[in-house]
A = this chain, B = another copy of it.
Amino acid sequence: MSSPHPAGPLPVPKTKRGERTRQNILDAAEREIGVKGFAEASIAAITAEADVAQGTFYLYFRSKEDVLRELVLRMGRKLRRHLSLAIVDATDRLDAERRGLHAFLAFVRDNPNLYRVVAESQFVDAAIHRRYYVDLAATYTASLAAAVSRNELSAGHAEVRAWALMGVADMVGRRFAIWDQQTPLHDIAEAAYDFIAHGMGPHRNG
């Protein structure tokens, strides 16, 4: 089910109006794919939803696969920007992690298509899917290593920690922010924070 490799970069809109149209198409595609899934989502439905002609679609994308790839990249950028803004006033790395967990869970509940789009991408373009995680992990690993050197965290394996933290956010987000649309997220984020800050071993100093 893998599609052929993309044949070079996509055309970039030359005007602000063009960029708005391109973003409208992506927004419509995100809703279509999020609701129906990649196989059932059609370019006709996407352009109808975006209120543009089908020909307009092909100004910016070659295929539905192109759109999914771009959605994954856009989701990654949007998530990173959201998390960066959330931690801008953090006092140290642990505080940044705490703020990051709250912000991530809120983002997931506001963007219920995130998981579906990212998960489906692995069956359309495994490299893009992998890059989504690897890019997040690279930034994360560097931040954790720097924090250890500032004594804001205990010594530890920065890369394993980065993937472990992503896993905590991913799975707690799935359970409490997607499958469950009701539970207030504050206490969930605090409980997840307690886990990543202190672990769950008996406290060594009582």
Interface, chain A (partner B; CB < 8 A)? 1-2, 36-40, 94, 116, 119-120, 122-123, 130, 133, 137, 144, 151-154, 156-157, 160-161, 163-164, 166-172, 174-176, 179, 187-188, 191-192, 194-205
Q: Is the CB of A1 within 8 A of B40?
A: yes
Across chains A and B, which 5 residue pairs bring their CB atoms closest together, nearest first?
A: A167-B171, A167-B167, A157-B191, A199-B199, A1-B37
Partner of A163, one of B156, B157, B175, B198: B175
Q: Is the CB of B197 within 8 A of A199?
A: yes
Across the interface, name the chain B residue whose C-beta is closest to A41: B1
Q: Is the CB of B161 within 8 A of A200?
A: yes
Q: Which residues in B have their C-beta under 8 angstroms from that of A157?
A: 187-188, 191, 194-195
Across the interface, name the chain B residue whose C-beta is closest to A152: B202
Known: A37-B123, A39-B39, A198-B198. A203 touches B154 (CB 8 A): yes
